[in-house]
Amino acid sequence: MSDSSTSVELADSLRGLVTRLSPGDRLPSSRELVQQYRVSPVTVARAIAVLAAEGAVVTRPGSGTYVALRARRDRQAADTAWQTVALTDRAVDTRLVADPPAPAPPGTITLDGGYVHRSLQPTRALSAALARAARRPDAWDRAPANGLSTLRTVFAEQAGGAVTADDVLITAGGQSALSIAFRAIAAPGSPVLVESPGYPGALAAARAAGLRPVPVPLDADGLRPDLLADAFAMTGARVLYCQPAFQNPTGAVLAPGRRGQILDVARASGAFVVEDDFARHLGHGGPVPGPLVADDRDGTVVHVTSLTKSTAPSLRIGALIARGPVMERMRAVRLVDDFFVSRPLQEAALELLSSPAYPRHLRSLAAALRDRSGALAAAVTREIPDATLAGLPGGGLHLWVRLPAGADDTAVAGAARQHGVTVSAGSRYFAAEPPAAHLRLGFAATADLAELDEGVRRLAAALREVRPAGR
């Protein structure tokens, strides 16, 4: 090795030497290495330091350098069993929100997706918005902890009522907003009332915050106020989580006569209503009910909204809307979490919302979702005639299907995957025992209507496989 050789090259040579030695063996002395590799003492010292930092060798002043005891265990799994004791019982269950452990095989049709297909995303408008945002001179500056004031103003205007920009906190999507709200409002161990069936991501976020979800049934008109009052009285809960518009998974819309009742029951119980308005921009062309927060005068409602569902999965921009001390608490939680949401992403969202392309996209999306919803419902009726549809929703991304008697939703979902179509087992949407077997079928994540038809045919074949004729 020449005098110009670097310490990096020497370190590579010494790694080879270490692999040929046994743990505890002594390496040649620095003087021997200088002579053998024809390098300077400084180069030797640097190379030894690199190997020591990697844990391959240990140096003992006055004695020499030795192969570390763990040198031959580099590729073996570490013993992390001690962490089970240290972490106690605060496990976070992601099974309700995470993808299956193994990716679906190529050619699998997605009927369990929670986002719109790439062909339905405003990708060109998003790219243009991001490019414009990146050209701003302050694009990479630190963003305000509450979010850009102009973007907060847009969310306030969308909410309506007396909501102002000061009532808005920008978040990294709707799921982040839910996590912030649950941790800010309720103490670990507290009950939180949830719709049954309801959004699995909310159940997961509540449990991760240490809360105990308590189910409250809904019907075709949404959450039942009479049962809600009973649930508040029996549990002492101070939080209700609900989706009044195009509820996931049923598609139900809270009836006009129940909107005020829900708020009145919550106020009488001294409780907050966490309103998840995820489908604000997912209407199918008909009327979309206004958010509960627009009618709230007393700070009862904590409103959650997001741009992600109507645009693209990676536009992680959402908002929390609230009044009073609860907003200060949520601001504190999000500040501790991550300081602020990426400024370029906020700027891009603002560019998109301010462009003529966005309302055009929403009109196009509404028509596409309406067509897909109808096509999926027709396919289910044709291919699985003994299944029961909850109804054709006026918005959202899913159909809620009750399976024929005797069917097991988990078994059907597993068999469907084997037949090349993914669906969501209905049991994931219940905080307690489900009253019947259901599937949630999505119509927005497939490439086209033909895929929807084929997906239902595959699902019907899977159902026949796990539920033989005559049952």
Domain ranges of the chain: 7-73, 109-118+359-466, 125-355
What is the per-residue pLDDT for 86? Answer: 63
Q: Which value, to the nearest 10 degrees, does the dihedral of the CA atoms of residues 48, 52, 55, 60 take? A: 110
Mind listing the pLDDT tens digit for each residue in 316-342? 999 999 999 999 999 999 888 888 888
| Cα(410)–Cα(424) distance, integer angstroms | 8
Peptide bond connecting 215 to the previous residue in cis, omega within 30 degrees of 0: no
What is the per-residue pLDDT for 320? Answer: 96
Residue type, 401: V
Q: How open is the CA angle 69-70-71, to the nearest 5 degrees?
A: 95
| Cα(129)–Cα(134) distance, integer angstroms | 9
What is the per-residue pLDDT for 90? Answer: 61
- Rounded to an integer, what is the distance from CA 137 to the centroid of its chain? 32
Q: Residue 374 corresponds to which tokens in the numbers above?
A: 């109808």
Mean pLDDT of 94-112: 74
Mean pLDDT of 39-57: 88
Q: Can you say whether the dihedral through the CA atoms of 452, 458, 464, 467 is positive or negative? A: negative
More confident residue, 381 or 433: 381
CATH class of domain segment(s) 109-118+359-466 = alpha beta
The single residue listed with the structure tokens 């408008």 is 125
Q: Is the pLDDT of residue 406 over 80?
A: yes
Q: How far from each other are the two terminal CA atoms of the chain, in whole angstroms?
A: 79
What is the per-residue pLDDT for 95? Answer: 65
What is the per-residue pLDDT for 84? Answer: 62
| Cα(460)–Cα(439) distance, integer angstroms | 12
More confident residue, 299 or 105: 299
Q: Residue 371 corresponds to which tokens in the numbers above?
A: 């067509």
Q: 438 CB contacts (<8 Å, ≥6 apart)?
A: 197, 249, 400, 401, 402, 403, 409, 426, 427, 429
Mean pLDDT of the chain: 88
Q: Is the pLDDT of residue 71 over 50?
A: no
What is the per-residue pLDDT for 53? Answer: 85
Q: In whole angstroms, how far apart are CA 325 and each of 192, 334, 340, 427?
A: 19, 15, 20, 36
Q: Is the pLDDT of residue 125 over 60?
A: yes
Band of residue 38 on the pLDDT scale cut at 50, 70, 90: confident
Mind listing the pLDDT tens digit for each residue in 225-277? 999 999 999 999 999 999 999 999 999 999 999 999 999 999 999 999 999 99
Task: Tell me the backbone φ, ψ of residue 202, rounded to 5 degrees.
Answer: -70, -40
Q: Is the pLDDT of residue 193 over 90?
A: yes
Architecture in CATH of 125-355: 3-Layer(aba) Sandwich (3.40)
| Cα(429)–Cα(414) distance, integer angstroms | 17
Q: Residue 196 — left, alpha, or beta (φ > 0 → left; ψ -120 to 50 → alpha)?
A: beta
Band of residue 72 on the pLDDT scale cut at 50, 70, 90: very low
Q: Is the pLDDT of residue 74 over 60?
A: no
What is the per-residue pLDDT for 321? Answer: 94
The CATH classification number of 7-73 equals: 1.10.10.10
